[in-house]
Amino acid sequence: MTELKNDRFLRALLRQPVDVTPVWMMRQAGRYLPEYKATRAQAGSFMDLCMNPDLACEVTIQPLERFDLDAAILFSDILTIPDAMNLGLYFEEGEGPKFKKTVRTQADVDALPIPDPERDLGYVMNAVKTIRHELNGRVPLIGFSGSPWTLATYMVEGGSSKEFRHIKGMLYGQPDTLHQLLEKLAESVTSYLNAQIRAGAQAVQIFDTWGGALSTPAYLEFSLKYMEQIVHGLIREHEGRKIPVILFTKNGGQWIEHIAAAGADAVGLDWTTELGSVRARTKGRVALQGNMDPNVLFGSPAGIKAEVARILDSYGYGSGHVFNLGHGINQFADPEHAKVFVDAVHELSARYHR
């Protein structure tokens, strides 16, 4: 087991003392980096890139070469599980992910296999192992999955959606069928994340991208319930260290108390929720991750630093904060502005940890 040279990300998630606030960026390996675009072109397609452990490792580490980040995140996609369920994932330029087959009936749900992560998603585990080896203890590696609700949304809609017509039609018209789908997905996500942990992931995040599209009762019943089930089924210690778990529901600020009670170590926040108020509401029960608006990076360097300072001040003194953007970095962001952001977090946060 390689000793971690920089573990402040893991320490902050467990609310242990740190010297400065750790920082990473959702989608930090992505299209805003010219070196990523070159590697993706070499791979041939997005999924070819995901399925090549050496190239997935290369793009995972690329942002660490540019920025003083405190964590690496596995380069993959949240839709690997539905793809392994034989739905035929593909990507259309400018339109995002799509599936050749949708899941809209009881028969469709019954036909879905629960993937074996080692066999059906072995390319992900190979990428995790390769990245851990190449990192050589530089920073921790984050594994991840989509939430059952978010995966189900893509599977039922057949791709991205603004209306959620089919998935909400199922929710209010065939709730038992939807629960059976979510149960299969929760089982699949649990085994998938545990396989990532065994392969070397040192923290895991569950991305609930579409949870915020639900009413409060629907969120609690169809999204949070299944994330809580996953959290309780995860390996929580490996290689002699605790494995922190982060739950992130976009547009989920109104449910923070419920999310904080779900058993995870940290709650991710988007930029619509004020960090200081959430810290007060959760009373130190969980670490908080976030939550700068990604579009701040289109501002001036002075404006970026001012917003970093404001967010740090909102959280206040002590550990338990992992700085991040409130969602993925925009593909048109200037890498130099991303560097200003990362450096500002370390420079301006030291005073909060004395």
Annotation says 219 is catalytic: no
| Predicted confidence (pLDDT) at residue 213 exceeds the cutoff of 70 | yes
pLDDT band at 91; cut points 50, 70, 90: confident
Please give the average per-residue pLDDT across 79-88, as a whole number. Answer: 96
Q: What is the pLDDT of residue 203?
A: 98
Annotation says 77 is catalytic: yes
Active-site annotation holder among 27, 104, 132, 279:
27
Q: How far apart are CA 216 and CA 221, in angstroms?
A: 9
Say if residue 198 carries a ligand binding annotation: no
Extended strands (E) in 88-243: 89-92, 96-99, 141-146, 203-208, 237-238, 241-242
Annotation says 31 is catalytic: yes
Q: What is the pLDDT of residue 1?
A: 61
| Predicted confidence (pLDDT) at residue 25 exceeds the cutoff of 70 | yes
Say if residue 313 carries a ligand binding annotation: no
CA distances from 285 to 14, 37, 97, 274, 278 (A): 10, 40, 36, 17, 11
Peptide bond into 86 cis (omega under 30): no
Say if residue 196 carries a ligand binding annotation: no
Is 0.85 surpassed by the pTM of this model?
A: yes
Asked whether the beta carbons of 72 and 61 are under 8 A apart, the reply is yes
Name residue, tokens 């922190």: 244
Annotation says 154 is catalytic: yes
Annotation says 285 is catalytic: no
Say if residue 30 carries a ligand binding annotation: yes
High-pLDDT (> 90) share of the chain, %: 94
Name residue, tokens 């080896």: 133
| Predicted confidence (pLDDT) at residue 95 exceeds the cutoff of 90 | no
Phi-psi category of 312—alpha, beta or left, where left has phi over 0 and alpha has psi -120 to 50?
A: alpha
Chain segment 287-328, per-residue pLDDT in tens: 999 999 999 999 999 999 999 999 999 999 999 999 999 999
| Predicted confidence (pLDDT) at residue 161 exceeds the cutoff of 90 | no
Asked whether the beta carbons of 96 and 159 are under 8 A apart, the reply is yes
| Predicted confidence (pLDDT) at residue 72 exceeds the cutoff of 90 | yes
Q: How far apart are CA 175 and CA 109, in angstroms?
A: 12
Q: Could you say which architecture CATH assigns to the domain 8-353?
A: Alpha-Beta Barrel (3.20)
Say if residue 350 carries a ligand binding annotation: no
Indicate the range of 47-51, 57-61, 242-246, 336-340 predicted with least confidence: 47-51
